[in-house]
């Protein structure tokens, strides 16, 4: 092991030395460093698409219309209290077992689950035979109809990919226009330059067109994606 | 990966005569081109963003040493092991050692063109005795045929549905022989069941990276199938193989380029999954990889910095250039003989494996310029191909007949008066033999007229017509 560590240190030195030689025609590193550090500390913004400059209501409509175009189902509910019954109804509609796997997300846990006593909730990361998983997104992005999930004990990453059916709950307060608003939220929530292990941007069920160019949903990840959008 | 790029002409001939390939290519290309146009039109800022994206990558490459340092520092702080590989052999060895340390038997892989470039699968199988399973459906279809990808984002674009069915029946012999495999969905489902077992039992998951973000030390993958995510979330060890030019400074830089990537590639508004991975699983996490390694590969790219080929380092591997290329559309990807086909391959391949081996590729262009028109990163691909043609000429690698022809033409081109004098005599002379407006046979141009007619001159030279028109404009 120590031999390999040593090799990597030598390789690293060599790697950077070669880069410096290749960059020799430009300004020296010392002269460039300030600029680079400034960019990393205060990332400059780039032009945003016009489509994110809309009213809250239009952003919500746009989010919905992109997501539906990407083969997802979206159900709007008037408030958090309606989430458990909306989930139960969707499971019934699709002939799915009344059992979901979820993490220890506090917001999800606080929902009034007792209104639907037949709905079974199991905690933990996804198991091979789980059929339905439930996650709580940190953001809904209107720009492309995209949900953003941050991994952790509250929302384990495997829930997003292992079960055939994935339900994602997102609150209207977390609806944003562009991707850039997600970066701002991540920096606020986890600290500048810090990230959870995995941040997933999800824009529909899994799909492929690798066989004869025909679009098929349910390639490796979920066959169905149901988004519950909580108004208010 | 072994190259057959030197054999390009013979490869192309075989491809043109391959009815199955022609049927697959004919069916698929129209869709990708039309979808891209639609997605571009739906984003009015698309063209302006190309300039921004170009500037981002130019800035990154001009400061690659500093951004790489920052990336490394932030990735390590989040628990990543960062390895530096100058050559393909270094990268293969580093990855094999990581697999050995993990006591790996089964390795799953997300799609990675860099792993093709370094010939990773063969090495892990031969030197490491590992079972390596490609999990992107297209890559799996190619792997079970022991072929290589023929397109950088649609690796099995050369295969028809019937071929896939035949392969599945040949290989998946544990399944009932009379099962129905008529619909693409049935084939996808069969692959899903088989690969699911591999995801669940893999010890190591290897992915590529579409981007590395210096600000956060993250690696990014973009997929539609979710296979990369299963690969990197279920195995105990996640290895990322990424070449140096994948770096971008910040998350804002990432999202700007992302707006171009999916639209240019498949014509989607965005890919289904975009994943940022930073470090190994956190202390309390219940899933995710316990070990996270990133192997940073150079493999000749640093040599391009400061050269006339530097622009090629902006490439984000969307595949738009090959989707729009008349040459790629006629012969598919395998004829190019190495990892990267199409216009980007014609520029990158000579840079990575030498112009002596791959000199045919930059010549395999009509210079129609469509590739540069659609490249989201505004890489001047035809210009770069022309540089390679010059380099090939300068290196003296061309056959004598080509050299003589080029030198003769160059002599006249450098002596305009002589050129005009010869043209003034030659063109009317040729038009004397003009009967149907074209020539079916021409001496010294047999390899042209064998496949198509040569338009016959109409009596006067372009220069004469131009001079007359200019005189007309001024009067």
pLDDT tens profile B223-232: 999 999 999 9
Those residues with Cβ within 8 angstroms of residue B13's Cβ, 6 or more apart along the chain or in another chain: none
Q: Inspect the interface and report whether the beta carbons of B64 and A23 lie closer than 8 Å.
A: yes
List the A165-171 sheet strands across, edge first: A73-77, A224-230, A165-171, A132-136, A99-102, A120-123
From B39, which residue of chain A is nearest by alpha-carbon distance? A144
Distance, CA of A220 to CA of A178 (rounded, Å): 28
Cβ B311 vs Cβ B379: under 8 Å: yes
Mean pLDDT of B167-185: 96
Q: Find which of B273, B282, B306 to mutate to test the A interface (most A CBs within 10 Å of its CB).
A: B273
Residues 100-159, chain B, touching A (beta carbon < 8 A): 101, 135-138, 141, 154-157
Q: Above 90 in pLDDT, residue B454?
A: no
Residues 106-145, chain A, touching B (beta carbon < 8 A): 124-126, 128, 144-145
Cβ B384 vs Cβ B310: under 8 Å: no
Question: Which sign, positive or negative, has the C-alpha torsion B365, B369, B371, B377?
Answer: positive
**Residue B55 vs residue B465, higher pLDDT:** B55
Nearest-Cα distance to chain B for A228, in Å, is: 18
What are the chain B neighbours of A69 within 8 Å (beta carbons)? 269
Distance, CA of A7 to CA of B43 (rounded, Å): 48
Strands B218-223 and B273-277: antiparallel
Q: Inspect the interface and report whether the beta carbons of A212 and B160 lie closer than 8 Å.
A: yes
What are the chain B neighbours of A29 within 8 Å (beta carbons)? 65-66
Cβ A127 vs Cβ A102: under 8 Å: no
Cβ B7 vs Cβ B335: under 8 Å: no
From A69, which residue of chain B is nearest by alpha-carbon distance? B269
Distance, CA of B113 to CA of B139 (rounded, Å): 10
Nearest-CB residue to B135 (from A180, A216, A220): A220
In this structure, the number of other CB atoms found within 10 A of the CB of residue B247 comes to 24
Looking at residue B425, its pLDDT comes to 83
Those residues with Cβ within 8 angstroms of residue B253's Cβ, 6 or more apart along the chain or in another chain: A43, A46, B56, B60, B213
Alpha helices in A70-209 (DSSP H): 83-93, 106-109, 179-190
Tokens linked to B202: 């893999």
Distance, CA of B61 to CA of B64 (rounded, Å): 5
What are the chain A neighbours of B85 within 8 Å (beta carbons)? 11
Q: Find which of B252, B308, B323 to mutate to test the A interface (most A CBs within 10 Å of its CB).
A: B252
**Residue A47 vs residue B451, higher pLDDT:** A47
Looking at residue A188, its pLDDT comes to 96
Distance, CA of A142 to CA of A149 (rounded, Å): 15
- Going by the DSSP 8-state scheme, the letter that residue A2 receives in this structure is H
Looking at residue B133, its pLDDT comes to 98
Q: Inspect the interface and report whether the beta carbons of B154 and A193 lie closer than 8 Å.
A: no
Measured CA angle at B332 (ends B302, B266), to 5 deg: 75
What was the ipTM of the complex prediction?
Answer: 0.96
Which helix (H) or strand (E) covers residue B462, if one does?
A: helix B462-474
Cβ B236 vs Cβ A165: under 8 Å: no
- Going by the DSSP 8-state scheme, the letter that residue B396 receives in this structure is T
Q: Above 50 in pLDDT, residue B249?
A: yes
Tokens linked to B254: 């990432």
Looking at residue B29, its pLDDT comes to 62
Identify the band that residue B475 occupies on the pLDDT scale cut at 50, 70 and 90: low
pLDDT tens profile B349-398: 999 999 999 999 999 999 999 999 999 999 999 999 999 999 988 888 78
What are the chain A neighbours of B156 within 8 Å (beta carbons)? 210-211
pLDDT tens profile A201-218: 999 999 999 998 889 999
Alpha helices in chain A (DSSP H): 2-22, 29-41, 56-69, 83-93, 106-109, 179-190
Looking at residue B28, its pLDDT comes to 61
What are the chain A neighbours of B68 within 8 Å (beta carbons)? 16, 19
**Reduced to 3 states, what is the DSSP secondary structure of residue A133?**
strand
pLDDT tens profile B128-162: 999 999 999 999 999 999 999 999 999 999 999 99
What SS3 string covers B18-65? CHHHHHHHHHHHHHHHHHHHHHHHCCCCHHHHHHHHHHHHHHHHHCHH
What is the pTM assigned to this prediction? 0.94
Strands A175-176 and A165-171: unpaired
Q: Does A221 touch chain B (CB under 8 A)?
A: yes
Tell me the domains of chain B and their CATH numbers. Answer: 8-42+319-392 (no CATH), 45-302 (3.40.50.10420), 400-474 (no CATH)
Q: Inspect the interface and report whether the beta carbons of A208 and B187 lie closer than 8 Å.
A: no
Give 10-residue mean pLDDT values along chain A (232 residues): 62 96 92 96 97 98 98 98 96 97 98 91 97 98 98 98 98 98 97 95 96 91 98 93
Question: How is B342-394 classified by DSSP, letter by letter?
Answer: HHHHHHHHHHHH-HHHHTHHHHS-----HHHHH-TT---HHHHHHHHHHHHHH
Q: What is the mean pLDDT of chain B?
A: 94
Distance, CA of A187 to CA of A164 (rounded, Å): 32
What are the chain A neighbours of B78 within 8 Å (beta carbons)? 194-195
What are the chain A neighbours of B205 within 8 Å (beta carbons)? none
The helix-helix angle for B381-394 and B342-353 (nearest 10°) equals: 40
């Amino acid at each position: 092991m120590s031999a390999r560590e040593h090799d990597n240190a030598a390789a690293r030195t060599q790697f950077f030395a070669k880069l410096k030689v290749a960059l020799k025609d430009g300004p020296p590193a010392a002269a460039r460093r300030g600029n680079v550090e400034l960019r990393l500390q205060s990332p400059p913004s780039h032009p945003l698409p016009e489509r994110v400059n809309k009213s809250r209501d239009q952003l919500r409509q746009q989010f919905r219309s992109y997501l539906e175009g990407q083969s997802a189902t979206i159900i709007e509910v008037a408030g958090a209290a309606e989430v458990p019954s909306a989930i139960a109804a969707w499971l019934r509609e699709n002939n799915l077992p009344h059992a979901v796997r979820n993490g220890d997300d506090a917001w999800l846990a606080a929902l009034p689950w007792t209104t639907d006593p037949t709905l079974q909730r199991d905690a933990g990361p996804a198991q091979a035979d789980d059929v339905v998983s439930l996650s709580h997104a940190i953001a809904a992005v209107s720009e492309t109809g995209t949900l953003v999930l941050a991994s952790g004990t509250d929302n384990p990453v495997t829930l997003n990919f292992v079960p055939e059916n994935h339900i994602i709950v997102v609150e209207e307060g977390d609806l944003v226009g562009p991707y850039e608003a997600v970066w701002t939220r991540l920096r606020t929530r986890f600290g500048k330059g810090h990230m959870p292990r995995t941040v997933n941007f999800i824009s529909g069920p899994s799909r492929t067109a690798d066989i004869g160019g025909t679009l098929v949903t349910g390639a490796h990840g979920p066959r169905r994606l149901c988004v519950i959008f909580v108004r208010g | 990966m072994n190259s057959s790029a030197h054999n390009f002409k013979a490869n192309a001939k075989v491809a043109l005569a391959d009815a199955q390939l022609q049927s697959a290519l004919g069916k698929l290309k129209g869709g990708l081109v039309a979808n891209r146009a639609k997605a571009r039109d739906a984003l009015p800022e698309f063209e302006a963003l190309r300039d921004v994206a170009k500037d981002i990558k130019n800035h990154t490459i001009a400061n690659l040493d500093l951004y790489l340092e920052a990336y490394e520092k932030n990735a390590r702080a989040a628990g990543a092991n960062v390895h530096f590989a100058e050559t393909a052999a270094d990268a293969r060895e580093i990855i094999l050692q990581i697999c050995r340390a993990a006591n790996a038997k089964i390795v799953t892989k997300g799609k990675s063109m860099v792993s093709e470039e370094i010939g990773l699968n063969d090495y892990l199988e031969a030197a490491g005795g590992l079972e390596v399973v490609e999990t992107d459906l297209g890559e799996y279809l190619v792997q079970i045929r022991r072929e290589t990808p023929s397109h950088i984002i649609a690796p099995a674009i050369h295969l028809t549905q019937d071929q896939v069915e035949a392969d599945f029946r040949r290989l998946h012999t544990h399944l009932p022989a009379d099962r129905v495999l008529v619909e693409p969905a049935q084939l996808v489902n069969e692959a899903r069941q088989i690969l699911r077992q591999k995801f669940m039992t893999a010890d190591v998951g290897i992915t590529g990276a579409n981007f590395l973000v210096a600000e956060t030390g993250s690696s990014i993958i973009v997929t539609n199938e979710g296979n990369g995510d299963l690969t990197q979330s279920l195995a105990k060890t996640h290895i990322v193989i990424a070449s140096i030019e994948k770096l971008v400074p910040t998350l804002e830089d990432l999202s700007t380029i992302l707006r171009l990537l999916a639209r240019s590639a498949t014509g989607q508004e965005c890919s289904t999954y975009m994943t940022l991975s930073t470090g190994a699983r956190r202390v309390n996490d219940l899933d995710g990889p316990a070990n996270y390694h990133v192997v940073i590969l150079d493999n000749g790219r640093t040599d391009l910095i400061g050269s006339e080929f530097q622009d090629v380092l902006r490439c984000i591997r969307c595949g738009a250039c090959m989707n729009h290329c008349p040459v790629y559309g006629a012969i598919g990807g395998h004829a190019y003989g190495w990892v990267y086909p199409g216009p980007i391959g014609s520029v990158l391949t000579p840079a990575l494996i030498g112009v002596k081996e791959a000199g045919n590729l930059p010549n395999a262009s009509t210079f129609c310029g469509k590739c540069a028109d659609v490249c989201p990163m505004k890489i001047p691909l035809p210009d770069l191909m022309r540089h390679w043609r010059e380099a090939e000429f300068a290196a003296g690698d061309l056959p004598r007949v080509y050299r003589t022809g080029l030198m003769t033409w160059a002599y006249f081109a450098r002596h305009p008066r002589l050129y005009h004098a010869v043209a003034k005599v030659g063109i009317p002379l040729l038009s004397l033999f003009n009967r149907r407006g074209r020539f079916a046979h021409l001496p010294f141009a047999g390899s042209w007229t064998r496949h198509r007619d040569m338009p016959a001159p109409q009596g006067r030279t372009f220069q004469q017509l131009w001079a007359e028109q200019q005189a007309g404009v001024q009067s």
